[in-house]
Amino acid sequence: MSEQHFPTQTPQPVAAPAQNAAIFIVGTLKDSAQSHALVRQWCEGYAGTVRAVGHRVPEAQLSCIVGFGSEAWDRIFGQPRPALLHPFIEFGPAERRAVATPGDILLHLRASRMDMCVELATRLIGDLGDAFEAVDEVHGFRNFDMRAILGFVDGTENPVGQDAVDATAIGQEDQNFSGGSYAIVQKYLHDMQGWNALSTEMQERIIGRSKQSDIELDDASKPSWAHNALTVIEDEDGEEIDIVRGNMPFGRPGFGEFGTYFIGYASSPTPIERMMENMFVGNPPGNYDRLLDFSTAVTGGLFFVPSHNLLQALSSRSAVQANALDAKAQAAVNANQHTGSLHIGSLKGTLQHE
């Protein structure tokens, strides 16, 4: 069978600016033929659901990004597959490790109002039915003037406009998947008592920026183990490689839990992986990011974010391509395509009686 080539379209809104509210949901997908068929059909109706909910309050600027993990891609969509998609790589020793945690699907919702995020998440997850099981959910919020819970401005070096699109969109080097992106997520929990016990000067040395002005420390004042010293990645020509960070703070004061949800989008996962290696292992090894003395990564995942039209095209993957459909599930998909209706409910019924 010849390799299928998908037309390109606009990327998902990975380069959009942060909003006041965000929900990050990572889940696993049931490994069955009926579940796989339902997920593919869900991909076709996904954009319509986002539009329908967003239309209720247009000024809320609701958006959602969906991505798929390496193992889920192979099970549900088969070949061809994104060239650089692979399981999350763990870095660092046991006492400061970038851990890998389960995750087949990522939903990143953003809006100026949390109720819009909750409504959309409810509908998208409802349409997945028993095929989906949540393993992590974080509700993020804008903290004063874009500051993390740690008190420093976050996302200072994000590219904007076309530069952000260029940094995140895959080009013709992987033509079946051009317009897509890679996303790496990590949930960090912070030792706020230990952090707040530090002097402002020491906090600034760890971050590499002035706390009040957000101005980067000069080379003479900034240690080689400062956070922003280790997370700047350059190409072979010495040019900095940009990524787009959609980080958000979160907190549960009643439980004493405060943290940062890191999400980085890029046209390749390699620059973000190099950042993590510098942070957790050190550059050189042992010269690690001292922020990790106060921040612990408790989740980690790598996802491929298809372009808009590829996401819809995934619904028509054949049984041969996906290697996962039985005759009953394929018949349900064909019937939906013939009538032009999603029939999510009927597919969910098939799944529930599996």
How large is the average pLDDT for residues 123-137?
Answer: 97
pLDDT at 320: 40
Virtual torsion, Cα 288, 292, 294, 295, nearest 10 deg: 170
Q: Which of 116, 110, 43, 121 is nearest to 77 (CA)?
A: 43
Within 8 A by CB and 6+ apart from 326, the residues are 33, 34
Dump pLDDT digits (tens) for 204-255: 999 999 999 999 999 889 999 999 999 999 998 899 999 999 999 999 999 9
% residues pLDDT > 70 (the chain) = 87
pLDDT of residue 342 exceeding 60, the answer is: no
Where does 3-62 have alpha helices with state H?
33-54
Answer yes or no: are the C-beta atoms of 347 and 332 closer than 8 Å: yes
Helix axes 327-339, 33-54, angle to 10 degrees: 30
Which helix (H) or strand (E) element contains residue 186? strand 181-190
User: How confident is the model over 154-176, as pLDDT tens digits?
Assistant: 888 899 999 999 999 999 899 89
Average pLDDT of the residues of the chain:
89
Cβ-based neighbours of 82, under 8 Å, separated by 6 or more = 73, 170, 174, 177, 180, 182, 304
pLDDT higher than 60, residue 302: yes
* Distance in angstroms (rounded) separating the CA atoms of residues 174 and 204: 41
Mean pLDDT value of segment 117-139: 98
pLDDT tier at 321 (50, 70, 90 boundaries)?
A: low
pLDDT over 80 (residue 330)? no
Residues 6+ apart with CB under 8 A from 353: none
Residue range 11-22: mean pLDDT, rounded: 94
Quick check: 180 and 269 in contact, CB under 8 A? no
Tell me the mean pLDDT in the region 107-123.
98
Place of tokens 């942060």: 18
Report pLDDT for 157: 84
Coil vs helix vs strand at 151: coil
Asked if residue 8 has pLDDT above 60, the reply is no
Catalytic amino acids? 154
Listed in sequence order, the DSSP H helices in the chain are 33-54, 70-76, 114-128, 161-168, 192-196, 200-207, 227-230, 270-280, 308-313, 319-322, 327-339, 344-352
> Minimal CA–CA distance to 124: which of 189, 47, 34?
47
d(CA 329, CA 351): 9
Whole-number Å distance between alpha carbons of 24 and 298: 14
| Domain assignments of the chain as residue spans, ordered by start | 21-352
Has residue 4 got a pLDDT over 70? no
Tokens of 160: 């904007």
Q: At what angle do helices 344-352 and 33-54 cross, to 10 degrees?
A: 150
The most confident of the ranges 130-134, 307-311, 317-321 is: 130-134
Phi-psi region of 238 (alpha: psi -120 to 50; beta: other; left: phi over 0): left
